[in-house]
Amino acid sequence: MLYYIWAPLLAVISFVFQRSPSNSINAIDCLQSSTDSLEAVVDCLDKYTVAADYYNQESYTLSQPNSTELTAFTDLVSSLLYVDDNCTSLHVPDSLSQHFRISLLSDRGENKSYCLLHEYTSQNGYYEKGWGFMAVPASRTPSTDVALHFSAPHPAYDLNTPQQAASLFTRTGARSLLITGRSRLALRNSTSCVHPSSNKTTYYVTDPVHDDNELFNVASKIIYKWQQAQGGCPSATCAFIQMHGKGVSTCPTDQMFLSSGLARSSSSWYTDDVDRPIKRLKAKLQQVFPSWNVSMPSDSPCSLTATENIFGRFINGIDAAHVCTTGSNASLATGEFIHIEQAAVSRAAESYGNWTKALKDTFGIERS
């Protein structure tokens, strides 16, 4: 009740704040204050995620890249993937250097080093740009061809997925970690990219899973192209794993729901005798979480099948120019894309150990 009395006043205050041009810019010091683990850095940065309803049309437009910045960001993401013992020699172009930095992080807990691309300025407590955070190992390990790519597209909404993705990235010795810097609700305007096919609520402009202008989606495609340039993404050793979280009332009997972005009518793709990473991962996850329901579309009527996920569509053979409007199908899908919807218990820190075991068993990663 009190909320309703104060809500209009709060709305006016936040309106004034959003529009005020004099808001000071502050440094984000997640790397100065917590150099002990990548997970701690990600946890610190998570608080700067541009919040729901933060943008208006004008501030959103101002925070999007112009063509120079877009090219520079794209090049930087690509260069980051090629880092091999030379992280600190990566140069951030002038057009980005006011906002982004490349840093070498020595994770003492993991006894490994990572090269990070991160935004270091905030306004009103949030990233000024919100284009995202990326990490790769600081040096390449010649002895392994395992190439896992973790991402978290819905921070501040699918809670704890950035922390979980960071933890699984370090524990499995994965190739890349990508986390967007904005809530999917940061600008609550319908995207002109994907229009939901069912009578679901609309998708918004700042949702990188359904809007192709979000930098998370741009970076995802660069990571995919890099993997292609390494000779592709073999089923035995490689996958693009996108971490999501679902609410308690959505598909409540599935603690985990895995999908590759195909429509329910293609469910036989999940049960045929072709080896696919998603099938192995499902089986291994079920082994380490024996009392849970670990499901795929072939096991459960859950509707979260990711058919409208634009990076999923791209990986599954749809041209980048058509990902907003065209779904993939069973004859195009490779199985490289693994979309995981999870109950809170599956995203919790207590589950990281079992998760790691399942991932290592799925992709033949050496125990250390």
Ligand X SMILES: *[C@@H]1O[C@H](CO)[C@@H](O)[C@H](O)[C@H]1NC(C)=O
Nearer to ligand X, 46 or 212 (CB): 212
First CA to last CA distance, the chain: 55
CA 191 to chain CA mean position, Å = 19
What's the Cα-to-Cα distance from 232 to each of 213, 226, 228, 362, rounded to whole Å? 25, 9, 4, 18
Nearer to ligand X, 236 or 349 (CB): 349
Please state, in angstroms and rounded to a whole number, the distance separating the CA atoms of residues 134 and 151.
9
CA 133 to chain CA mean position, Å = 9
Interior angle at CA 38, CA 138 and CA 180, nearest 5: 95
What's the Cα-to-Cα distance from 91 to each of 94, 207, 234, 361, rounded to whole Å? 9, 29, 32, 37
Q: Does 354 bind ligand X (CB under 6 A)?
A: yes
Identify which range of 5-13, 115-123, 176-184, 329-337 contacts ligand X by CB under 6 A: 329-337
Please state, in angstroms and rounded to a whole number, the distance separating the CA atoms of residues 85 and 113.
9
Identify which range of 2-10, 257-265, 323-331, 358-366 contacts ligand X by CB under 6 A: 323-331
Counting residues that bind ligand X (by CB under 6 A) gives 30
Q: Rounded to the nearest whole angstrom, what is the least distance from the CB of residue 312 to ligand X in the complex?
A: 14
Q: Is the dihedral of CA 270, 275, 277, 281 positive or negative?
A: positive
Q: Does 243 bind ligand X (CB under 6 A)?
A: no
Identify which range of 1-9, 126-134, 283-291, 334-342 contacts ligand X by CB under 6 A: 283-291
Identify which range of 20-28, 75-83, 276-284, 359-367 contacts ligand X by CB under 6 A: 75-83
Please state, in angstroms and rounded to a whole number, the distance separating the CA atoms of residues 287 and 357.
10
Q: Does 298 bind ligand X (CB under 6 A)?
A: no
Q: Does 33 bind ligand X (CB under 6 A)?
A: no
Q: Does 228 bind ligand X (CB under 6 A)?
A: no
Neighbours of 366 (CB within 10 A): 9
Nearer to ligand X, 30 or 311 (CB): 311
Q: Does 57 bind ligand X (CB under 6 A)?
A: yes
Identify which range of 22-30, 78-86, 158-166, 171-179 contacts ligand X by CB under 6 A: 78-86
170 HSE (CA, 13 A, CB side):
26
Q: Does 201 bind ligand X (CB under 6 A)?
A: no
Nearer to ligand X, 32 or 98 (CB): 98
Outline where DSSP puts E strands in 2-132: 25-27, 100-107, 112-119, 121-123, 126-127
Residue with tokens 């284009």: 131
Q: Which of residues 99-138 bind ligand X (CB under 6 A)?
A: 111
Q: Does 68 bind ligand X (CB under 6 A)?
A: yes
Q: Does 64 bind ligand X (CB under 6 A)?
A: no
Q: Does 275 bind ligand X (CB under 6 A)?
A: no
Nearer to ligand X, 33 or 71 (CB): 71
Selected binder of ligand X within 66, 143, 201, 249 (CB under 6 A): 66
* Residue 351 per-residue DSSP state: G
Interface residues with ligand X (CB under 6 A) are: 57, 66-69, 79, 82-84, 86, 89-90, 95, 111, 189, 198-199, 205, 253, 288-293, 326, 329, 331-332, 354
